[in-house]
A and B are shown apart, each in its own frame.
Chain A
Amino acid sequence: MEEIKLRVSGIEKSFPGVKALNNINFAVRKGTVHALCGENGAGKSTLMKVLTGLYKADKGQIFIDEKPVEIKNPIQAREYGISMIAQELNYVSELSVEENLFMGRLPVNRFGGVDWKKVRREAKKFLEEEKLSYDPAQKLKTLTVSDIQMLEIIKAVTNNAQVVLMDEPTSSISQAEVKRLFEKIAELKAKGVSIIYISHKMDEVFQIADDITVIRDGEVVSTDRVEDLDIQTVIARMVGRPLENVYPKEFLPLGDVVFEVENFNAKNLFGDISFHAKKGEIVGFAGLVGAGRTELMRAVFGLDPKDSGTVRINGKETVIRSPEEAIRKGLIMLSEDRKEYGLVPVRSVMENASLASLKRYFYGGTNHRKKEHSEVSDIFRKMDVKTPTLDTQISSLSGGNAQKVLLARWMLCEPDIMILDEPTRGIDVGAKFEIYKLMTDIVREGKTIIMVSSELPELIGMCDRIYVMCQGKITGCLNRDEFSQEAIMMRATGLLGTKREGKRDEK
């Protein structure tokens, strides 16, 4: 089994300002499962997109069966036998099973029309072979995620796929379905198909993989046989960067508990969530993509509905049904998606800054523009926002400055509790440091910050306490003396911790 099916050599890919992939080398053996492990943003998805022809690599070469190939687009990738089972499955839910199976390669009869009889016959044959009991004419939307995934895999194999890429295939299926998937993978291996398997779930990776390649910050850290590794080693390599002391953290005496969330539930998103935060505290929320942190915070802020749960502010039960209500009660949320839920690109920086506190500037029947102007300039000066004028369109500001304007928007509301979801995402190092400094100033004023972040170093650097979430549950709550990237990753991947642990240190 030493035959190499796919070899990636010296792949590099840059986006404006970031090097997403740097000199990536690894080889996938024929008939094996090769796992790719890495933190969020390590470059795994970019690499997959290069392999399937969605991105063009700046440098480097891909070999299939040791022959150099150039993959320009997904169709070519398929011709080379590379197929992708995406995290978000791509299918047309209104079409039937058979139509989806043969999409893009429907057989044609001699009149140039589709040979539906052949489609039906072959679809039936495939489904029977795979012991799947549904009707080829059934619409795809009537199937479960797992069924569709299985179908995607079958589709890939019938496309004569030699290399199947699976990105987080178990993120939305049940335990029993995972078992079915793994049986399928074993079957494919036996047929000599190679599988590149991306997952955050370490136990699964160790169960299924033959080789593991760890990627960090766009570079390959190591490739080893699974026998030579253990979970701790892989996690250590995934997070392995040295912790620089770039966090202007101040240790302040903490006040009373001012914010409590109890028994928050929303079906399929998160369940049984309880946490609290004290006056002057920065509370972190760690977890992998899809752990439900953003969904939870959106529900707390009243932006999305929840099934059940209560919020207490200063010990008083508080009903929050909309952001409007949350803001009125002193709770705000900076969204992780600056573009979609933050900026109003066509409007000025001033209007963007004052958007959440219009009541301060519109009263008595007029717009108190002078007050608006001076308060916004004051806070911009305090936060060192760099903008040519207050009338400049916000879309012409850099990411870091735009983020500061959004933070200013929320500061102008004079909140007591601030949820900051990925406050430093997509901004450069200098601007990050300034955001950290602002956070320190904010808590010094006696406010409370709840910080959601996917970057462990900044959580460890800035927080007083960190909750860890995995698959919609809180799997741990760590105090400062327990902080370590390993401890967090163990809980974020679901290896350690139960949902009850979160209440451990309360009261």
Chain B
Amino acid sequence: MKNNKVSYYLQKFSILIVLIVMFIACSLLSPYFLKANNLMNIARQLCVGILIAYGEMILIVSGFLDLSVGSVLALAGVMAVSAYKSTGSMPVAILAALAVGVLCNLFNAFFVGNFNVPAFIATLGMQQVARGIALYYTGGANILQLGKFVNIGQGMLGVLPIPVIIVIIITVIVWYLFNQTRYGRSLYAIGGNRKAAEASGINSLKSIYISYAINGLLAGMAGVIFMARNNAGLPNGAVGYEMTGLTAVIVGGTSFTGGVGTVMGTIAGAFIIGFLENIMNLIGVNSYIQSVIEGMIIVLAVAFDIRSKNKKSSKVIMVSDDGEEKKTP
């Protein structure tokens, strides 16, 4: 039993250990890494990725995912920029982005939930659709001269960048959802065994809609910050960002098979990826090679997750044909 406990805590905090080791390694590799300027830069850069990661985490924990988030983010961002340019109102711009994000994701939820289209396929379709609309709407051209819109991505409030403050607030909300609400608990159950959750009176269809809607809100907000940081409405922006989000979530210990994952883990995962990208830039790793390394990391993280799960379950229960369950010696 004691052994169990040690490995339990090791597993629970292993991600934080990795993060700390990474941090120390980075500070040794480059003297510039620990500079306040650089750390602030990492935080800024991570904002969009973390928002995407939260959305992916909500979906992956409950057994789904979203491949459309990069495109939806671009579409929402472009719409926000365009709304801002015609009204001059920041609240209207943000509302427009959120509405577009939610709308796209209601379609995702509709096909995934009501028609049981695999999330992979449904959101892959939405990836094309949203990108197409963004490009069509702008005629493929970037929208420039955003004026005060850029504040939400580049401005400071006291000592902290505004996007960082936004992300901190959203982090608290997401943590609250996962840990203090029935909805959060249901996500774990649906991801762990959807049929059992339904047979226990949990409305999984409702959860699917809520999850995609939240994912849409996050994508919308990320879109606003992304465009503001770039000082342009980029219909071609954020390509492949779903991968960045997924990598952070998986590295952060969320199980791709559903039912397992924590907000802390996802934050840690995002920082690990952020540190890695930053240090590779600082020590001058070729950007193509960076891509190779990141691709390898996601596969290894999943392989590791599956390996540790197999070890656990194969030890415990064997089921014979007659439905007998016995602990193997």
Seen from chain A, the residues whose Cβ lies within 8 Å of a Cβ on chain B are: 15-18, 20, 41, 45-46, 49, 301, 303, 322-324, 326-328, 333, 335, 339-347, 351, 355-356, 358-359, 362, 365-367, 388, 391, 393, 395-396, 398-399, 402, 409, 425-427
Contacts and interface: CB of A to CB of B under 8 A. Distances in A.
Given A335-B199, A345-B313, A395-B317, A367 B326 contact: no
Contact of A344 (B189, B313, B316, B321): B189
Contacts of B203: 322, 324
Contact of B188 (A46, A328, A351, A362): A351
Given A46-B322, A366-B180, A358 B186 contact: yes
Contacts of B324: 15-18, 399, 426
Contacts of B197: 344, 355
A326 B203 CA distance: 13
Nearest to A362: B182
Contact of B192 (A41, A327, A347, A427): A347
B201 A326 contact: yes
A351 B189 contact: yes
A347 B320 CA distance: 23
Given A399-B317, A399-B325, 4 more contacts: A303-B199, A339-B319, A345-B192, A359-B182
Interface string B297-329: 000000000000000110011111111111110
B201 A323 contact: yes
B325 A398 contact: yes
Contacts of B163: none
A426 B325 contact: yes
A388 B325 CA distance: 19
Given A355-B200, A362-B181, A20 B322 contact: yes
A355 B193 CA distance: 12
B182 A358 contact: yes
B201 A344 contact: no
Q: Which of A18, A322, A365, A391 has the most CB of B within 10 A?
A: A18
Contacts of B328: 16
B319 A324 contact: no
B157 interface: no
Interface of B: 1, 4, 8, 179-182, 185-186, 188-189, 192-193, 195-203, 255, 258-260, 312-313, 316-328
A402 B193 CA distance: 15
A358 B192 contact: no
A5 to B, nearest CB: 26
Contacts of B319: 339, 426
Interface residues of chain B: helix, strand, loop or mixed (majority): mixed
A346 to B, nearest CB: 4
Nearest to B259: A346
Contact of A395 (B316, B320, B326): B316
A46 B321 contact: yes
A491 to B, nearest CB: 24
Q: Which of A322, A333, A339, A343 has the most CB of B within 10 A?
A: A339
Contacts of A398: 325-327
B114 to A, nearest CB: 15
Contact of B326 (A17, A324, A339, A356): A17
Contacts of B200: 323, 327, 355-356, 409
B199 A333 contact: yes
Contacts of B181: 362, 365, 367
Given A322-B203, A323-B199, A398-B327, A20 B192 contact: no
A41 B313 CA distance: 26
B316 A343 contact: no
Contact of B180 (A339, A367, A391): A367
Given A324-B202, A346-B255, A367-B180, A399 B322 contact: no
B180 A365 contact: yes
Nearest to A14: B320
Given A365-B180, A395-B313, A15 B193 contact: no
19 contacts: A16-B324, A17-B326, A18-B320, A46-B321, A301-B199, A303-B199, A322-B203, A333-B199, A340-B193, A342-B199, A344-B259, A346-B260, A347-B259, A351-B188, A355-B185, A359-B182, A399-B317, A402-B325, A409-B200
Contacts of B195: 340-341
A351 B185 contact: yes
Nearest to B193: A344
A295 to B, nearest CB: 14
A328 to B, nearest CB: 8
Contacts of B323: 41, 425-426
A16 B189 contact: no
Contact of A324 (B1, B188, B201, B312): B201
Nearest to B203: A324
A437 B49 CA distance: 55
Contact of A45 (B199, B201, B258, B321): B321
B321 A396 contact: no
A442 B84 CA distance: 64
A161 B321 CA distance: 26
A15 B188 CA distance: 33
A257 B34 CA distance: 75
Contacts of A347: 188-189, 192, 259
Nearest to A396: B316
A351 B201 CA distance: 14
A335 B319 CA distance: 17
Nearest to A323: B201
A341 B196 CA distance: 4
A333 B4 CA distance: 33
Given A327-B201, A395-B312, A395-B313, A342 B325 contact: no
A398 B179 CA distance: 28
A258 B185 CA distance: 33
Which 4 pairs of residues, A with B, have the shortest CB-CB distance? Answer: A15-B320, A17-B326, A399-B325, A344-B192
Contacts of A365: 180-181
